A and B are shown apart, each in its own frame.
Chain A
Amino acid sequence: MSESSISLPGGLPEAGTKEVSKGTSASVVEALQEWVITVDHKKLGVLYILYGLVMFAVAGIEVLLIRIQLAAPGNHVVSAQVFNRLFTMHGTTMIFFMVMPVVFGFGNYLMPLMLGVRDMAFPRLNAFSFWMTAFGGLLLYYSFLGGTGLQGAGTAPDVAWFAYAPLTERAFSRGHSTDFWALSLIVSGFGSIGTAVNFLATAFCLRCKGMKLFRMPLFVWLYIVTSALLILAVSPLTAAQVMLLIDRYLGGHFFDTQAGGSAVLWAHFFWIFGHPEVYVLVMPAFGMASEIIPVFSRKAIFGYAAMVAASVCIAFVSLSVWAHHMFTVGMSAPGNAFFALSTMIVGIPTGIKIFNWLATLWGGKIRFTVPMCFSLAFLFQFLIAGLTGIMLSVAPFNWQLHNSYFVVAHFHYVIVGAIVFMVFAGFYFWYPKVTGRLLNERLGKLHFWLFLIGFHLTFDFMHIPGILGMPRQIYTYEADRGWGPLNLVVSIGAFIQAAAVVIFVVNLLTSVFRGKLAGPDPWDAWTLEWTTSSPPPPYNFDVEPVVSSARPLWDLKHPEDPDSFNSGARS
């Protein structure tokens, strides 16, 4: 194995290393069964990612229908009812069953490798969490068949992804569509909490020798922050869903305004979950950026400790900003001022992160590989998303922008422009580790440029109808408002993005067989996952690694200038 992996000095041979014998007569059924019953973090990581990609396709088709409907004023491609289901399902799927599984998948696959350990802390909990998440998504989509109960055509939820009460109460939402929505989020919520617990336990308890907390890759740090936020954020959501079901079936009146319940209460519950959730999704993207940008700038990350501090700081502040989604509910002036201030404060640690990435680029030798191209686009787009976020934090400005297409453009800038771009970067970067082969560079560049053009056509132009007074979640609009041409451009951009995603999927599928062989370390990188073979053996490392700095492979490659000597402050 010596030529397919890079061995670190000072390691002890793994005790009782087993030879994996591939059954030559393993049937397809056996192979499938192996994937279903697996508790291996790498297999589960791949399952998470594949599941997320399937959901990405489903929710992508939903949004293409939405964009056809909105491409021209007064269109009648889908009815109002169908349109409302489409955007509800698009939002719920993309957040809970696309981005979350995909980032969990990356974390699952990479965290044990980066920490130099054999698996996650709780492999069985890990498998349980994945299947909970997966069944949650199936439950959501089963609503298409079972939404109205046993008789009738069936229908999906149509209450928008934030499902404001009392629209979700039985008086306004008959049938079972809202129940499926609530149940699917409860089920997948347990999965998320399980995964978060697992990430925390792995990072705090299972590091290899010499891997002090401040020698962990930033990727791991960011997953710690995400996991902590997840536990804090998902619990109130689950509580609120249970309360909603109590209202709907056990005669409770938490949100039932006709019986004296409170509609504002749901909004508080939802956004106490909903805002930290944004950071749950974006922190992993920060983590990937903090690994990929240094490698292709050929420099260590600038201000490692400040990056950790800024991430933890964002997490803390993000717990006190939820009501900036509620500036229009009629809070008192001091209340509005408080949440405006807390929201603006998030901009400070976020700014520190952007400046640190900038300083990492500064003085480097930047290589424009596909993952780096996506990461650089991420930097610009995240900057813009942050600045429109600052605009939205200005409460009076928010009274105009709230629930308009400007907000839709803003959060898609975060979720697509930052998170999805970084996830694509992550795919190109770590795909060779998972499959042993590199993704095709030419198809990758085509994917990048096409997606970039489509993204900007869609989401740059989407800000303007918001400024011109177009509210979100409307299935049609009048021609005299002047929103038509802009919406047409937005729709064209959506289809260009879809074409780019098709190229990406083709690349993913063909490179498994025809990609260039990667070897253990195709990018000349520095963290532990690149020391083992690609793909890694089931036990991850031939010998248990021992590290003496944050960049063990740098130390190995540059014995004349090791980090362990330079960055003594951190060891």
Chain B
Amino acid sequence: MRSRRNTVFVILVSVFCCGSPLVARESQTNIFSPRSGPAHSIYSLSQFTLAITGLIFVVVAGLLLYAIIRFRHRPTDDGSEPPQIFGSTQIELSWTIIPILIVTVLFLTTARVIFYIQDAPKPPSALEVTVIGHQFWWEIRYPALHVVTANELHVPISTSGAPAPTFLKLTSADVIHSFWVPELAGKTDLFPNRINELWMSPETAGVYKGQCAQFCGTEHAKMLLRVYADTPEAFAAWIREQQSPAIVSTSDRALEGRKQFESQACINCHAVGGTVANGRFGPDLTHLMSRDTLASGAAPNTAENLARWIDDPDTFKQGSLMPSMHLTKAQVEQITAYLVTLK
């Protein structure tokens, strides 16, 4: 397996005359380091495709190179014209039939993988999650578990002994987006008025990165995506935590901040479970501090960044749809003090 993979890399390198496997290994979004069921089958199909196309390249480019060198005009030439050949039915037939055979093989292999991935049966143990694309963030809902979060998708790992694949229902609230976490699965678009499906079965725990892969407006570049594959225990713990209502803060600063938060326009777009804040246009903040990043991955989620973000969202994300509310410094501090209690 290892050697096959190396061969593919060598072919790739020779096809594109370059390539740095070193860079490839560091990347967390390499399509050639699959960590989940569909990504694995795509990977082996891509190896097969690369081998075929690599072989065609070597043969045809070799012939071209040979012809160019062998039949170059030489200074010693007598200046006469070479024999004129107008064609040959046998030769032309052979280079029609051989490509037809290659296409047949490639198509059958491709069709197998298409049907394997798209018609995969959904086991009863599968987790169902709905992902809704927004300009420029991801709304994530676990309908059966009554959990709502954003931008950071948590899923259980799925092993052959205990298969627990995750089936995503994808849709969009505004324009077209595309869900792409290369190590887990190929991309699938999120369309308004339409539900698409995507499944994944990560084998090892960890964070998998990805991002929106369909141009969706100004901040398409900062519509980042993280998938946390957790062990079954860690996943159950995370779900319990997310299901609990928002922590009621007791400190004066936080209470003051909550008052500010609920009297400003914040609650028109954001929800905090168990409070008057029930907006749906922006991400749910009930467990804001359980997330690692802010603004769909644009910045690490720290109190300091949170304050800067509330003060002026353009600091991290120029075209973010969250407006700067022109709050005073004191108001920003109070609201931040409240939000950091939402663990």
Of A341, A464, A472, most B-chain CB atoms within 10 Å: A464
Main secondary structure of the interface of A (DSSP, over half): helix
B249 shortest CB reach to chain A, Å: 33
Given contacts A302-B85, A305-B87, 8 further A-B contacts (CB under 8 A): A297-B82, A299-B85, A328-B189, A358-B64, A376-B64, A399-B186, A399-B187, A464-B24
Closest to B53 in A: A387
Residues of B within 8 A of A348 (CB): 96, 99-100, 103
Instruction: Tell me the chain A residues, 361-398 only, with Cβ under 8 Å from chain B.
Output: 361-368, 376, 379-380, 383-384, 387-388, 390-391, 394-398
Q: For chain B residues 54-83, which have a beta carbon within 8 Å of chain A?
A: 56-57, 60-61, 63-64, 67-68, 71-74, 77, 81-83
A469 touches B29 (CB 8 A): yes
For residue A175, CB closer than 8 A to chain B, the reply is: no
With an 8 A cutoff between CB atoms, is A207 at the interface? no
Interface residues as binary, A47-89 with B (CB distance below 8 Å gives 1, 0 otherwise)? 0000000000000000000000000000000011100100000
Interface positions of B from 272 to 295, Cβ below 8 Å from A = none
Instruction: Mark contacts of A314-354 with chain B using CB atoms, 8 A cut-off: 1 yes-contact digit, 0 otherwise.
Output: 00000000000000111011001100110011011001101
Whether, in the assembled complex, A510 has its beta carbon less than 8 Å from a beta carbon of chain B, the answer is no
Of the listed stretches B44-52, B146-154, B252-260, name the one at the interface; the rest are far from the partner chain: B44-52
Chain B residues near A396 (CB, 8 Å)? 41-42, 45-46, 110, 113-114, 117, 186
Is B159 among interface residues, defined by CB-CB distance under 8 A? no
In the bound complex, do residue B103 and residue A345 qualify as a contact, i.e. CB atoms below 8 Å apart? yes
Chain B residue numbers with a CB within 8 Å of A404 are 213
* Chain A proximity mask over B216-231: 1 for CB below 8 Å, otherwise 0: 1111111000000000
Q: What 4 pairs across the A-B complex have the smallest Cβ distances?
A: A399-B186, A469-B29, A474-B221, A330-B196
List the interface of chain A (C-beta within 8 A of B).
Answer: 79-81, 84, 158-160, 164, 166-167, 171-172, 257-258, 260-264, 297-300, 302-306, 328-330, 332-333, 336-337, 340-341, 344-345, 347-348, 351-352, 354-356, 358-359, 361-368, 376, 379-380, 383-384, 387-388, 390-391, 394-404, 456, 460-461, 463-464, 467-477, 480-482, 485-486, 558, 561, 563, 566-567, 570
**B191 close to A329 (CB less than 8 A):** yes
Within 8 A of A (CB), among B158-207: 170, 174-176, 178, 180, 182, 185-189, 191-194, 196-197
Residue of B nearest to A570 (CB): B86
B49 in contact with A299 (CB, 8 Å): no
Interface residue from A167, A304, A363 paired with B71 (Cβ < 8 Å) = A363
B193's partner among A263, A333, A485 (CB-CB below 8 A) is A263
Q: A383-B61, A397-B45 are in contact. Are A167 and B67 (CB under 8 A)?
A: no
Of B11-19, B121-129, B326-334, the one with at least 4 CB within 8 A of chain A: B11-19
B69 CB to closest chain A CB, in angstroms? 9
Q: Name the residue in A260, A398, A404, A469 with the highest tally of chain B Cβ atoms < 10 Å from its Cβ.
A: A469
The docked-state distance in angstroms from the alpha carbon of A398 to that of B15 is 18
CB distance from B163 to the nearest CB of A (A): 20
Interface centre among B60, B170, B215 (most CB of A within 10 A): B215
**Do A362 and B191 have beta carbons less than 8 Å apart?**
no
For the complex, give the distance between the alpha carbons of A460 and B99 in Å.
25
| Chain B hits for A403, CB < 8 A | 178, 180, 187, 213-215
